[in-house]
Amino acid sequence: GENVEQHPSTLSVQEGDSAVIKCTYSDSASNYFPWYKQELGKRPQLIIDIRSNVGEKKDQRIAVTLNKTAKHFSLHITETQPEDSAVYFCAASNNAGGTSYGKLTFGQGTILTVHP
Amino acid sequence: NAGVTQTPKFRVLKTGQSMTLLCAQDMNHEYMYWYRQDPGMGLRLIHYSVGEGTTAKGEVPDGYNVSRLKKQNFLLGLESAAPSQTSVYFCASRDRGRGYEQYFGPGTRLTVT
């Protein structure tokens, strides 16, 4: 099955700095890579996602890059703000049909702290 | 449009007791999933369903059973709760078509003593 590794486990930055979180996956059939932000006691919230036919996607201060050859993808947050502090999870799934059914495999999470 | 809802929000069980967690969605989604989240870990898939009347095992299915008698509901049962099942349980649903995004419920915090 799929295995997703996420690094670093904790990340501390100053407000205004950039933050980068990296994930690797094992199943070359995976074709969907979402990133979730989870605040304490809340549900995971999708912040950005990318499909395997795209190399990069950007949404304001957040961007995701995907390298299919190396099987890794990264989340980039620019101009970080204290409200970006949360746990971030990457995930991967295969939505190509058959018996995959889009089941998500999650990374272990990154605790991001943005200091004012 | 409530999205995905979960009942109950919190529960404390004694070892050996049973309970059922209810997940309901009003988006007419075909696929539904149950995940558990333990401290310091990502979510792990317990069971999933790709349509009414069908269920399948995920990564960590032992000790749980599920049923999908109606398209909008996905039930997760614990027949004999164990302390190792103390966790936060999230339900999610997804459209079968081109939309890959999973929509998560608010979670159920379960403690087994």
Q: What is the mean pLDDT of chain A?
A: 95
Grade residue A91 by pLDDT with cuts at 50, 70 and 90.
very high
Q: Does A23 touch chain B (CB under 8 A)?
A: no
pLDDT of residue A22: 98
Give A106's pLDDT tier (boundaries 50, 70, 90): very high
Instruction: Decide if pLDDT at A100 tops 90.
Output: no
Q: Are A45 and A38 in contact (CB under 8 A)?
A: yes
A108/B41 Cβ within 8 A: yes
* pLDDT at position A54: 87
Per-position DSSP letters for B23-83, written without gaps between them: EEESS--SEEEEEEE-TTS-EEEEEEEEETTEEEE-SS-TT-EEE-SSTTEEEEEESS--G
> Which among B48, B90, B106 has CB closest to A103?
B48
pLDDT-derived band at A45 (thresholds 50, 70, 90) equals very high
The single-letter code of the amino acid at B75 is L
Picking from A96, A108, A88, A83, the residue whose alpha carbon sits closest to that of residue A48 is A88
pLDDT value at residue B99: 79
Minimum distance, in Å, between the CA of residue B45 and any CA atom of chain A: 7
Q: How many CB atoms lie within 10 A of CB A9?
A: 12
Which residues does chain B have with pLDDT short of 70?
none
- Chain A residues with CB under 8 Å of B48 CB are 101, 103
Distance (Å) from the alpha carbon of A83 to chain B's nearest alpha carbon: 20
Whether the CB-CB separation of B75 and A12 falls below 8 Å is answered with: no
